[in-house]
């Protein structure tokens, strides 16, 4: 199956990730036969620009998937659990951006540069990792080509767009309120996000870790096919609109020099090394936003462990963290001739 005769649906087309998915299709002049935009009933009749035309948004209901070959779904887990099986039943490959299917053992969780071969056993649904997991998994896969990774400690600095468009608006509104000396009224987060950092992303579990932190642990292990790798994340929400950053410490079974790590990362597809600290050149959200690659810098020996390295990552959470990864999954499925599921 070629990409030129595909009918592609974007479910959640008016959301933060859905709009980027449509932009990416337009930027690449993707040769799909037809693109269908779906959202909740609140968005029926909206028009979104695409190339030199506008596309109407229709309601995401089961019958809307008739004739759809590929459905990019970026909605709540509850809605995805209801719609994805209906799309598969009607013959579509579902590429799901949410958490609904990530840890289902019958559903591949895919970053194409890392484990694209897992697409070959999908049964109709492919899941996209959490937007913090993807850049970490890519970096670990690059480094793990030369030395076995044994332990990872990571602190994330997550943009508000990971919560959704409403959180971006809230950041803008709160920033204006604080600068004007007005009180803020938090809705999307338990506390003010403007001029603040929140050491909480998702709800807390009994072990003191949050849901987001558990996602990073479990998803990274699944993508890397390594159930034994030790991972300890701390996920933090920061007042940045777009692009997640991560401070990572990696321990290996043997020492690895920063020079070897730089070479491995530079050669890995989808990673760009930006590492001239003496010139104040390193990855930043302002530089990574709107870009496709995962940016890695501050590569250095871990001063606390002889087999350790420390590094810094920045990645646009709406692009490679979500929409771009979905499109790359489709490209990889076409390349492997596995758009249609294994029966």
What amino acid positions are annotated as catalytic residues? 131, 244
Strand ranges for the chain from DSSP E: 7-11, 34-39, 47-50, 53-59, 70-73, 93-96, 125-127, 149-158, 230-237, 244-252, 271-273, 294-301, 308-315
3 state SS of 74: coil
Strands of 21-124, DSSP E: 34-39, 47-50, 53-59, 70-73, 93-96
Q: CA 342 to CA 8: how far, in whole Å?
A: 20
Distance CA 249, CA 311 (A): 7
- Is residue 246 classed as helix, strand or coil in its secondary structure? strand
Q: Which residues contact 221 (CB under 8 A, 6 or more apart)?
A: 227, 229, 231
Tell me if 39 sits within 8 A of 10, measured CB to CB. no
Helix (H, G, I), strand (E, B) or coil at 298: strand
| Paired sense of beta strands 308-315 and 244-252, if any | antiparallel
């Amino acid at each position: 199956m070629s990409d030129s005769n595909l009918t592609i649906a974007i479910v959640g087309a008016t959301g933060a990730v859905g709009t980027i998915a449509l932009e990416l299709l337009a930027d690449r002049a993707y040769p799909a036969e037809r693109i269908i935009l779906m959202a909740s009933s609140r968005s029926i009749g909206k028009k979104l620009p695409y190339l030199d035309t506008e596309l109407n948004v229709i309601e995401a209901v089961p019958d809307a998937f008739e004739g759809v070959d590929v459905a990019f779904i970026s909605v709540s887990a509850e809605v995805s659990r209801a719609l994805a099986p209906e799309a598969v039943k009607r013959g579509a490959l579902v590429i799901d951006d949410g958490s609904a299917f990530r840890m289902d053992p019958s559903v591949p969780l895919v970053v194409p540069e890392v484990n694209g071969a897992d697409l070959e056993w999908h049964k109709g649904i492919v899941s996209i990792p959490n937007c913090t997991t993807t850049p970490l998994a890519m970096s670990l896969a690059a480094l793990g080509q030369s030395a076995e990774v044994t332990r990872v400690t990571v602190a994330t600095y997550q943009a508000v767009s990971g919560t959704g468009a409403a959180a971006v608006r809230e950041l803008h509104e709160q920033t204006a309120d604080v600068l004007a000396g007005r009180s803020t009224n938090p809705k999307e987060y338990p506390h003010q996000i403007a001029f603040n950092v929140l050491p909480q992303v998702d709800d807390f579990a009994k072990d003191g870790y949050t849901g987001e932190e558990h996602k990073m642990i479990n998803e990274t292990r699944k993508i890397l096919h390594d159930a034994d790798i030790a991972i300890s994340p701390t996920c933090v929400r920061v007042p940045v609109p777009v692009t997640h950053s991560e401070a990572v410490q990696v321990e290996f079974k043997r020492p690895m020099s920063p020079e070897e790590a730089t070479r491995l990362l530079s050669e890995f597809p989808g990673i760009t090394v930006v590492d001239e600290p003496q010139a104040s050149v390193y990855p930043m959200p302002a530089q990574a936003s709107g870009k496709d690659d995962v940016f890695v810098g501050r590569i250095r020996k871990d001063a606390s462990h002889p087999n350790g390295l420390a590094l810094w990552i920045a990645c646009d959470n709406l692009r490679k963290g979500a929409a771009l990864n979905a499109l790359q999954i489709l490209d990889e499925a076409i390349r492997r001739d596995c758009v249609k599921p294994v029966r």
